[in-house]
Structure formats: C-alpha cells, structure tokens
Amino acid sequence: MDSSVVRSPVRVPYTAPPRGERGASLEDVITAFHLARAEVATLFSAAGLDPTKTRESARELGINRGLGWRLSRMVRESDPSVAASDVPGSQSMARFFEACRQRGAPENAIAAAIAALDRFEAALSSCSGDRKTLAMLMANRRDTGGRTETDKVRRTLFEGACGVWGVQAQTRFVTVFVFPSPDDPGMLDAGHVTGFVGFRRLSAKPWPLSYEAVHKSSGAVAPFIKEPLDPVGAGEGKLQLMKRYCSPPDMDVQVVMGGDYKRFELAAGPVGNEGLTTCVFGTRLRSLYPRYSATPDTAGFMVLMSTPVERVLFDMFVHRDLGVTTPPRAQLLDRLGFPHSNDESQFDRQSLQVPEAPELLPDGLAGTLCPYIPWYSKLVEDVTARVGHSIDEFVGSRFEMRYPPISTTLSRRFDLKPGPA
C-alpha cells in the first residue's frame, strides 16, 4: 500500500544482577534510554516548554545552556547511538526536576521521570560502568561516520530539488498498523496514516501529497476496500483527512487518477510560510492481505518519495498474534532507473544502499515519542482506538532517514507465514 501528552508506561524497576551474573546488555540500556527520554519529554510538556528550543527552555528553567543542550538532545535525538552517553547525571537531573517543579509540573510526572532515570543509571552501571565506555560501545554499534557523510550528500540533493521543483517539507511520515481482520481471521486489516509536517510551496502550483494503490507481489494491481478513519467532510480527498491534526483543518485536496495510482493533490495556493501546511490522511483497509501463505510471500507498504523533505519516518506496528518479532525490513527503491516497477522479485536489484536500518520501538505509547511531531503519540493513540486495538497489542518498529532522495520508493515488508496445520 502506498501512502504515501505522552502517557507513562507501566514501570518495572531495574535491579542490577548479583555479582558474578551477567550484566545488563546494551539493548537493556537502549530500552531504558527510550523510557527515560519519553518521561523527560513529558516533563517538558508539563512545564509548558518546547524541548527543541534549547536556549529558550534553558532560560525559562533557569538552568545553564550546557544542561539545556543535553536535555534537548536527549529528547530530540531518537538514535541512542549518538545520544545515550549524553544523558545528564543525577545532580544535573535533580536541578532539572526542581526547575520543572517550580513551573508547576505535577509530582507524579516528576516521580515517573526520576524512576525512569534511575532505571537508566542502573542499566548503564551494569552494562558499561560509565558514560565514556557506553559511548565507545555505542560507537561500535553503528557506523555513524558513514551516515554523516551520506547526510551531507543527500542534503545537497535536497537543497537543489527544492529549487527545481519549488516545494519542500520538514517531515514525511507513514504509520501503519497491521492486525487480523475481525471479519475474517484468515485476512489482515490495516490502519494506514500518512502525511507531511511543515509542507510549503516555493511556487504557486498544485502538488501531490499522497499516492494510493495496492499491488500484488507480481506487480499486478489488486483491489482493496478502504474506509476513512475520520469520516467528516465532502469528497474523497477531504474525507480521508484527519482534521484535528491538519493545519489548516479544511484544505482543498483534489483526487486525480493517473495510471495505477490515485493521486491526492493539494490545490494551488500561497507560497512560503503563508501557505505552511500540515496534513494527515487516515484510512482503514479491510481484508488487504491474506494472513497466511504456503509459498513465499509478503505483506508490505510503500511510500513514494516525490517531495523534497528533511526527514522521513516510517513506523510499522504488527499485531503480536502474527509472530513478527523483528522489524519489517526496509528498502529504498530506485524509481529513476525503474520508474514503473512494482514486481517484488526485482526489489533487491533496484535497492539503493543506505546506512539506516529499522529498529524496534519500546513497548507502549511512550515508545512512540517523536519530538519533531509533538502530537505524534496522541495520533497513534487516536488511530489505535479507531481500529479497536490497544498499542500494547503491537510490536512497533521505526525507520528514519534524513534528506531521503526523491524519485525513490521507501518499502517496508514482512514475510507471511504458512497457515496452521
């Protein structure tokens, strides 16, 4: 399928293993980091502050800029490989907690953050002993140097594409929930949400915000049934908008057919910040894929990267009953050399090399934290309620990429398993 207030989780106190037993793993530290990160983000919100505005937050809290920078980095940076070793120590965090208390943050939120930071410190101590050693472990976990160089090249391409095509956006996101169909347990339903944050035109012209089509693994077009998640409005384009997350909430979206794809276009409008737009499309797709397959087959979703964006985020949440415990794989497919190919057997030869890889998200709503989309966790909570499943029923994973090249397709897929005997 092409798309084109964080609640505190239940906490299990971390206990360091007895002497002589295995210490905490690096994955234990990463899980604890994500939970601590979510609680600190909640505290920023409770104190009425934006963690992405480092200087302003430090000034309002009355803390030094160094501590403000480390706190902001902790919340903004989702990759623990480059942020976990910068988590402030206990004395610095105590100053932050007291500053939040003075700004009226509730005691239960402060207590939750303290518990999460204690768990992180215990895991860190058991795994590496200190932050310097943790930084070395994290550096060897991923090739961050290669990613930095790739980002530089992609950014140059992004800046040129903005000038040529006359559009740009801060974030392109896709969020998919896959679960057994209540109407037919042998089939899979999906909740599918996609959109842009901070989209703006640099020239007054219409622009496609989303493409819609379903293809079989052979590339043949497949029929599908969809329902809007927020069925308010007139016309197919507006019916698929989730209005509470859109700005402006009543934008002019036109539907245009072209080949195998249905195109949802934002009508021509003002340029620059005057026309700054955030749009979110949401649909429920019924009986989209078979749950089982006796022969190799997959269930997957794709997003056409046709708009220059600073970042793409692709989250997949697969129901635990499907037994998919590892992140569905991600491929960036070349659509310059292979513009009309949807044959899955050709995907490997069409794939571009990328240093990024999908990673599992921590369980619960707190694990969905996305600091550059402040309302993202609320959106996830809203969608799961609309499809009738709790977030705790899913295994979530995230793929992020900065400055993704356009004329590509980002694909995420998982293998279907044989049916029960």
What is the predicted pLDDT for the residue at 144? 52
pLDDT of residue 50: 84
| pLDDT recorded at residue 4 | 41
Tell me how far apart the alpha carbons of residues 361 and 75 are, in angstroms, rounded to a whole number: 15
What's the rounded Cα separation, in Å, for the pair 237 and 252?
Answer: 8
The pLDDT, as a whole number, for residue 281 is 96
Relative orientation angle of helices 90-102 and 54-61, to the nearest 10 degrees: 70
Predicted local distance difference test score (pLDDT) of residue 9: 35
- For β-strands 167-180 and 309-319, DSSP reports them as parallel
Domain boundaries, the chain: 26-141, 146-415
Query: Is beta strand 298-305 parallel, antiparallel or unpaired with respect to 408-415?
Result: antiparallel
Question: Given this model, what pLDDT does residue 330 score?
Answer: 97
pTM here is: 0.81
- The confidence score (pLDDT) of residue 5 equals 31
What is the distance of C-alpha 154 from the center of its chain? 20
Buried b (16+ CB within 10 A) or exposed e, 205-219: ebbbbbbbbbbebee
pLDDT score, position 147: 64
- Each residue's pLDDT, cut to its tens digit, for the chain (421 residues) gives 554 433 333 333 434 444 334 577 888 888 888 888 888 888 888 888 888 788 888 999 999 989 998 888 888 877 777 777 788 888 999 999 999 999 999 999 899 999 999 998 898 888 878 888 887 777 766 655 556 678 888 999 999 999 999 999 999 999 999 999 998 989 999 999 999 999 999 988 899 999 998 888 888 888 889 999 998 878 888 899 999 999 998 889 999 988 788 999 999 989 989 889 999 999 999 999 999 999 989 999 999 999 999 999 999 999 999 999 999 999 999 999 998 888 899 999 999 999 899 988 888 888 898 888 989 999 999 999 999 999 999 999 999 999 999 999 999 999 999 988 7
Beta bridge partners of 379: none
Q: Which of 206, 293, 180 is nearest to 258 (CA)?
A: 206
Q: What is the pLDDT of residue 14?
A: 39
